[in-house]
Amino acid sequence: MWKSAEALIVAAALAGTFAAASVSAVADPASAKGEATKAGAQAKGEKAPDKDKARQAVNVPAAARPGVPPAKAIALGRPALPEEIAAWNIDVRADGEGLPAGKGSVKQGEELFLQSCAVCHGEFGEGAGRWPVLAGGRGTLKSDRPEKTIGSFWPYASTVFDYVHRAMPFGNNQSLTPDETYAIVAYLLNLNDLVPEDFVLSKENFPKVSLPNEATFYDDDRETTEKSFWKAAPCMKDCSGEVHVTARAQILNVTPDADPPKGNLE
């Protein structure tokens, strides 16, 4: 395996070469949000950082930055600028960490949802075609056809906020403002009968929202509940009585190729 201690010695040697290099003063255009995707934000006279300079940019020696513990050897990578981190740091956790300031009402959310989401998810989150169903399904998790929706299955409302902002609307992701995202999440909570019609969701009241199925999740326990799958000497001979075919794939006939290949010994 890779030995970090050894590699760091190499890195330390390299670090000396670049110790005097300075940090790029401008946010990296490849990571700054908007510049790559939104026309408006592009050319505000900002100069792209000099390519060679950016290439050589390395960490400022630890001594130059107060509050940073003494660096192990650093030769590669340069400090991330605050605006670069802000552009990509969009994750929201179950405890609310990462939620932006803002708010949105069920009513606003309904309008946005009908505009941007209902074409796939249905006006009431019932799903169109094979697109995900978002509402309903309470009490179905033990049934033959469980309906896993935000209300019936998802453990955390923060996941809805994170995902809607991150990856929705499908094909136009990260286009929603924080307020719009709060509004859509509020509407989805309302569709699942979790908040009233006049509810306004905000960063402040978000931690009070909990989803009904949260308590039913538990960490992987296969090594105890499936301990019987570890067997010293699995059976090799006469392990069962007569064996019969009990089900066949051809009866369902869902294989993409409509004309499955045949043997040639007819």
Partner 1 sequence: MPDNTFPRTGNSAGNGAAPALSRRRFLSVAGQGAAVSAGVAAAATGPLLAAPAAAGPDPNIVPVPNWSKALGAGVNVNPYGKPSKFENDVVRREVTWLTASSESSVSFTPLYALDGTITPNGLCFVRHHGGEAEIDPDKYRFMVHGLVDRELVFTLEDIKRMPGRVNRAYFLECAANSGMEWRGAQLNGCQFTHGMIHNVYYTGVPLRAFLDVAGVKPKGKWVLAEGADAAVMTRSIPIEKALDDCLVAFAMNGEALRPEQGYPVRLVVPGWEGNMWVKWLRRIKVGDQPWQQREETSKYTDLLADGRSRRFTFIMDAKSVVTSPSPQAPLKQKGPTVLTGIAWSGRGAIRRVDVSLDGGRNWTTARIEGPNTPMSMTRFYLDFDWGGEELMVQSRAMDDTGYVQPTKQELRAIRGTNSIYHNNGIQTWLVRSNGETENVEVG
Q: Is 43 left (phi over 0), alpha (psi -120 to 50) or beta?
A: beta
- Binding to partner 1 in span 91-150, by CB under 8 A: 91-95, 120, 129-131, 141-142, 146, 148, 150
Least separation in angstroms between residue 65's CB and partner 1 is 9
**80, 102, 103, 202: residue in contact with partner 1 (rule CB under 8 A):** 80
Near partner 1 by CB under 8 A, which window of 38-46, 82-90, 109-117, 183-191?
82-90
Is residue 41 near partner 1 by the rule CB under 8 A?
Answer: no
Q: Mask: binding to partner 1, 180-219, rule CB under 8 A, as x and -?
A: ------------------------------------xxxx
d(Cα 31, Cα 83) in Å, to the nearest integer? 9
Is residue 39 near partner 1 by the rule CB under 8 A?
Answer: no
Is residue 69 near partner 1 by the rule CB under 8 A?
Answer: yes
Is residue 235 near partner 1 by the rule CB under 8 A?
Answer: yes
Contacts for 195-198: CB closer than 8 Å, 24+ residues apart: 195/106, 196/106, 197/106, 197/107, 198/105, 198/106, 198/107
**48, 90, 114, 119: residue in contact with partner 1 (rule CB under 8 A):** 90
Residue among 32, 31, 18, 26 at smallest CA distance from 60: 18
Of the chain, the end-to-end C-alpha distance in Å amounts to 55
- Binding to partner 1 in span 12-31, by CB under 8 A: 14, 28-31
Residue among 123, 189, 182 at smallest CA distance from 156: 189
Near partner 1 by CB under 8 A, which window of 67-75, 102-110, 175-183, 188-196?
67-75
Least separation in angstroms between residue 84's CB and partner 1 is 6
Query: Is the dihedral angle over the CA atoms 116, 120, 123, 126 positive or is it negative?
Result: negative
Cβ burial 16-38 (10 Å sphere, 16+ → b, else e): eebeeeeebeebbeeebbebeee
Least separation in angstroms between residue 198's CB and partner 1 is 27
d(Cα 261, Cα 266) in Å, to the nearest integer? 13
Q: Would you say 196 or 251 has its CB closer to partner 1?
A: 251
Near partner 1 by CB under 8 A, which window of 40-48, 110-118, 180-188, 246-254?
246-254
Other C-beta atoms lying within 10 Å of the C-beta of residue 259: 6
